[in-house]
Structure 1
Amino acid sequence: MTDTVTDPPAADRLFARSAAVASCVGFVLIGMLQALYGPAVPGLRHEFGLSPAGAGLGLSLHFTGGVAGVLAFNAIHARISNRALLAWGYALMAAGGAGFALAPTWPLALAAAFLAGLGFGGIDYGLNQLFAVGFGDRSTAMLNVLNAHFGIGAVLGPALIAWLGPDAYPYAFGACAVLAAVLVFAGSSGVRTRAADAPPAAEKARPLGVSRVLVGFLVLYILNVAVEASVGGWEPTHLETVGYTATVAASATAVYWLMMTAGRFLVVPITLRHAPELILAVCAAGMTVCLLLTLIRGVAPLAYAGVGLFIAPVFPTGLAWLNSALPQARRAGAWVIAASNVGGVAAPPLLGVGIEASGIHAVPSLLTALSGASLLATLRLIRLTRRSTS
């Protein structure tokens, strides 16, 4: 299945070229900021006298702020311009990053993490939503390019902490705050300032078919991000359990995240020729097969890398599919992005419960079951979207 690719007229483009570049830098920033909390844990424990669980609250508050930010910015988007939405998102990240770097007490640091998360959610929602509609038939490709830069940031963040040392985490968060402050102006200029259109009556009515399609997307995103986060969280433990060294296991996990970044760049030419739903079906099948292969010890590290490659296009490509399947539901993207954050937060600990009951060797089977459910959800969603447009 192929599509004819056309660019929107210049007058209808939401982004100037400079604004598109700045948006990619913005996604490097949010990827970097999210990835700093984990490597900073030793420094946080030393600075504030925290337990490991207490230090982990920083990332939890960041994610909580992220979900709140997505929903809050979605609620006000119809009343403010696109430029204002992005400027406020970057400003909140700048304030939160600086606050976390300078906080004299742990409660103030947690409040700053929540504030940074609010801005994170605003930028995550705002840029994904605008890229989904701002590049015409190239929107799917541009969404993958945008989200690939998140992966670049997620690699740079831990590398920066490794270079500076965990006790120097304030400098890393401070650097993020400075970059966010620059983007308050550079990241919103070149973006059309028109306010988002008010939701049409069709969205308010919520026909049954639209409701089922939206629920289908929510389920797909929860399952997909659950697989993504659980592989990243449990891959090293599984590989060490089956006999790989800690160094090999850590390196294989880094390769998994790098393949997610590479996969989003590699899929760009494919998105220009094939429909999003076909790409997602192939990706869901591919990652399920790769997870089955992780049952074989000798190929497990390579199989996990394959999972990263296949799962990479799902999040951005699914947003483009959502926009074409439910053009009348302008707020659907926000609910889907919020749902993906819920999946990322809830899945790893829930998977841990299953591992406690079945043993660490059950990781591939549990992950395959999640991925298989994602494949079934994708196929079901394809039928639903075809039915709703027929």
Structure 2
Amino acid sequence: MEAGPVFTTSAVVASCFGFVLIGALQALYGPSIPALRDDFGLSPSAAGLGLSAHFAGGVAGVLLFDRRFGRTGNRRILAVAYLLMAAGAAGFALAPDWPLALLAALLAGIGFGGIDYGLNRLFATGFGRRSTAMLNILNAHFGVGAILGPALIGAVGAEHYPALFLAFALANLPLLLCLRGVRDHAPQPASADTGDRTPVGAALRSVLAVFVTLYVLHVGIEAGVGGWEPTHLESVGYGAGAAATATSVYWLMMTVGRFLAAPIALRFSAQTIITVSCAGMTACLLLAAIPDLAPYAYAGVGLFIAPIFPTGLPWLSRVAPSARRAGAIVMAASMLGGVAAGPALGKIIEWSGVGVVPLILAVVSAVCLASTLWLTRTTRRPSP
């Protein structure tokens, strides 16, 4: 069995760059829609299936690669994931028709899911007490990519999307060389005494169910704000340019929030960070219902929601070390939350109008807060 650190310094840097790539790839589909419609003669809803296929592949990738962890070395798992994402991105760029493009997007999504799950899992257990801080840094680089992708589309024009997909496909390949710096044996969750209690039996199932709820709902909020903030801001009097800029600031603040959370995670527990995040997110969403405050409030949502995803994974690893597939189930469920948020909010808007979006999301955020408080109480070790 291998000893030593899970990642060398070069492997950490390469992993962060890998997260820039998966963030950028996911964010390229939306801005490419006008060119996709022209190239393939698609309706708006049909063109949007590219991102849906990518997300569907992501869910499959998380579940498939989870089954190989512990059976196949970490290096081989990550190498296959990078190659699948590269092949899918290149296939999407070169596809002669839309069905093949969707198949390529699905393939890229499987690789995306493998990278997302594999690196999150290794970072969640591979740095001891620093794992939460390192996970926030890793996931902050996803945000860097999510900002970079649309910026590049804006710079070169949507009609040149094939060149960008090809460029990101090729950028995966040098990362294969850095996998030598990843320890091949999957580490076990850190055993430091954090005051967490490990539930068993029915209590463990309840804890996992509430973690899934927290992840599905908070990712739904993340996607819901990103998707509907421009529409809401325009409905209360902001111009299209101002609304688009405010939405970019929301994503920027999410990235900044994860970088800021890294040093905070070294001093405060995951429970405290997520509780404060959910409370702040709820308050900001309520403030977003006030037109004059809405753009600033949405920026606050981005800042507060930022640490929840990466901070919750080490907490889950500590309280459910025997539930081997817990992380995969939670991550796959979170992707489904992102897929469901758009259509669900669309239906609510049809019934009640776009003005209710921040209030509906505030209610969902309050459920996230209640879930966090329940998890904190249930997993806290009783005082002697």
Class of the TM-score when normalised by the shorter of the 2 chains = over 0.9
Which amino acid counterpart does residue 349 of structure 1 have in structure 2?
Answer: P
- Distance in 2 (alpha carbons) for counterparts of 1:190 and 1:217: 32
The aligned counterpart of 1:190 is 181
Measured against aligned partners, the alpha-carbon deviations of 1:88-115 in whole angstroms (never above 9, x if no partner) come to 1000011101111111111111110000
Corresponding position of 2:330: 336
Instruction: For residue 70 of structure 2, give the secondary structure of its aligned residue in structure 1.
Output: helix
Residue identity (%): 61
Match of 2:75 among 64, 83, 102: 83
Cα distance in 1, alignment partners of residues 277 and 31 from structure 2:
30
- Aligned-partner residue type, residue 229 of structure 1: A
Seen in structure 2, the aligned counterparts of structure 1 residues 206 and 383 have a Cα distance that, compared at 3 Å, is: closer
CA shift digits 1:301-338 (9 cap, x unpaired): 00000000000000000111111111222221111100
Counterpart-to-counterpart distance in 2, 1:105 and 1:358 = 39
**Distance (whole Å) between structure 2 residues aligned to residue 351 and residue 82 of structure 1:** 39
1:179-218 superposed matches below 5 A:
179-186=171-178, 188-194=179-185, 207-218=201-212
Q: Is the 8 A contact 1:81 1:196 kept in 2?
A: no
Distance change (3 Å), C-alpha of 1:352 and 1:388: farther
8 Å contact from structure 1 (residues 82, 196) kept in 2:
no
Question: Where does the alignment leave 5 or more consecutive residues of structure 1 unmatched?
Answer: 1-9, 198-204
Q: Which secondary structure state, in structure 2, belongs to the residue aligned with residue 39 of structure 1?
A: helix
Please list the CA deviations of residues 231-269 of structure 1 after superposition, one character each: whole Å capped at 9, or x if unmatched: 111111111101111111110000000000000001111
Structure 1 residues 345 and 329: alpha-carbon distance in aligned structure 2, compared to 1, 3 A threshold? same
| Cα shift at 1:13 | 1.6
- Alignment match, 2:114: 122
Paired letter, 2:54: H
Deviation of 1:185 after TM superposition, in Å, equals 2.6
User: Separation in 1 of the partners of 2:30 and 2:77?
Assistant: 28
Tell me if 1:26 matches 2:45.
Answer: no
Among 151, 166, 170, the residue aligned to 1:178: 170
Q: 1:206 to 1:79 in 2, by over 3 A?
A: farther
Matching residue's letter, 1:292: L
Distance 1:226 1:148 in 2: 18
Alignment of 1:190-269 (within 5 A): 190-194=181-185, 207-269=201-263
> Quick check: 1:55 aligned with 2:50?
no
1:194 maps to a residue whose letter is H
Normalized against structure 2, the TM-score is what? 0.94
1:254-298: CA deviation from partner (whole Å, max 9, x where unpaired): 000000000000111110001001100000000000111112111
* Number of residue pairs matched by the alignment: 374
1:102 aligns with 2:129: no
1:115 partner letter? L
Tell me: CA distance 1:388–1:149, structure 2 relative to 1, closer, same or farther (3 Å). Answer: farther
- Check conservation: 1:15, 1:192, Cα contact below 8 A: yes
- Structure 2 letter corresponding to 1:192: R
Retained in 2: the 8 A contact 1:222–1:343? yes
Match of 1:202 in 2: none
Q: Does 1:360 align with 2:354?
A: yes
Aligned mate of 1:291, from 285, 290, 293: 285
When the two structures are superposed, what TM-score results if normalisation uses the length of structure 1? 0.93
Give RMSD over aligned pairs: 1.7
C-alpha distance in structure 2 between counterparts of 1:355 and 1:105, whole Å: 34
